[in-house]
Amino acid sequence: MGWSTEKAESAAQDGPGEPGAGVQGGEQARPPVALSPSRAGDFMQCPLLYRFRVIDKLPEKPSAAATRGTVVHAVLERLFDAPAAERTPTEARAMVPGAWEKLLAERPELAELFADDAGGERLATWLAEAEALVERWFSLEDPTRLEPAERELYVETVLDSGLRLRGFIDRVDVAPTGEVRIVDYKTGKAPRPQFAEGALFQMKFYALVVWRLRGVVPRRLQLVYLGSGDVLTYDPGEADLRGVERKLLALWEAIQLATRTGDWRPRPTKLCGWCDHQAHCPEFGGTPPVYPLQVRPADEGGEQQGRMGQV
């Protein structure tokens, strides 16, 4: 296929710290070296959140919703190991408890999600919700008629500018004609139309990486929303992807400037309600940890905010 599947040992460098990890635990803080869709989204949401996740690597509590998403993704990926005729809703539902057990064995800290659930009722409800999400997938796509070219594909590329982009694509389908479709599963609900552009940003990011790796613009980007039973598609063009590249370069410049100066501004929004770092956030009366990287004074005062207006 010609994909870059350089293994992801460095992929965690731009990811959030695992619970219990963090530079305060002795790990050496390093400047960010690459951009993934999630971390780009973090910086656009709130630069200080990006700092907490990427540079300080502050621990975060496991989330039941995110963990359920991981279980559902694992089932949708592994179901394709079975022959087409066996990819049924019954088979897929039956895989959910095993996928949870496997994840728990890999990440024992997730047990804390159900630590106060002695009777197991919450776990049973949570597993049933995951099974319902898996089952809904069959009303949106027919896995007996699909043979993905790639599943959970790690992609990485370096743009001419030197910016390294990386990420994981849930599924890549390649038609006999060679046309590529990139598919991403979401366990939440589809966004309202006015927010669709934000949802497509991640997909255009992947499309740009695939274009740079293979020299072919993906024919279709497809977001499958299991929470609401919607499918959002978009057929990108080269101009779209050049626009995404410019946006990512501006974003990366802003991240590098903040990294050098240590000037990571909080940007409070409704999403703060889901942020694990309020205790360290000045917007909530907290104090950030001592900045672990060397600071170089900015002589371009206000430049970060100016750039952020463009990204």
What is the rounded distance in angstroms from the CA atom of residue 63 to the CA atom of residue 72?
14
The verdict on 31 binding ligand SF4 (CB under 6 A) reads no
Residue indicated by tokens 């990571």: 264
Q: How far is the CB of 259 from ligand SF4 (least distance, A)?
A: 16
Report the candidate in 38, 34, 33, 13 with the shortest Cα–Cα distance to residue 23.
13
* Residue 228, Ramachandran bin (φ over 0: left; ψ between -120 and 50: alpha; else beta): alpha
Q: How far is the CB of 16 from ligand SF4 (least distance, A)?
A: 12
Q: How far is the CB of 115 from ligand SF4 (least distance, A)?
A: 25
Strand, helix or coil for residue 296: coil
The verdict on 275 binding ligand SF4 (CB under 6 A) reads yes
Q: Closest CB to ligand SF4 among 42 and 184?
A: 42
Encoded tokens for 73: 């993704």
Q: How far is the CB of 227 from ligand SF4 (least distance, A)?
A: 23
Size of the site for ligand SF4 (CB under 6 A): 14
The verdict on 58 binding ligand SF4 (CB under 6 A) reads no
Interacting residues of 203 by C-beta distance below 8 A, sequence separation 6+:
182, 184, 221, 222, 223, 234
Which member of 46, 200, 224, 308 binds ligand SF4 (CB under 6 A)?
Answer: 46
What is the rounded distance in angstroms from the CA atom of residue 47 to the CA atom of residue 255?
8
Q: Closest CB to ligand SF4 among 43 and 126?
A: 43
Encoded tokens for 296: 């170089």
Which member of 278, 294, 305, 310 binds ligand SF4 (CB under 6 A)?
Answer: 278
Q: Which stretch binds ligand SF4 (CB under 6 A): 91-99, 194-202, 247-255, 265-273?
A: 265-273
Query: 80-116: b or e for each residue (b if 16 or more CB lie within 10 Å)?
Result: eeeeeeebeeeebbebbeebbeeebeeeeebeebbee
Q: How far is the CB of 167 from ligand SF4 (least distance, A)?
A: 22
The verdict on 277 binding ligand SF4 (CB under 6 A) reads yes
The verdict on 135 binding ligand SF4 (CB under 6 A) reads no
Q: Closest CB to ligand SF4 among 46 and 221?
A: 46
Q: How far is the CB of 80 from ligand SF4 (least distance, A)?
A: 36
**Integer-rounded Cα radius of gyration of the chain:** 20
Residues forming contacts to ligand SF4 in the complex (CB under 6 A) are 46, 48-49, 266-268, 271-272, 275, 277-278, 281, 283-284
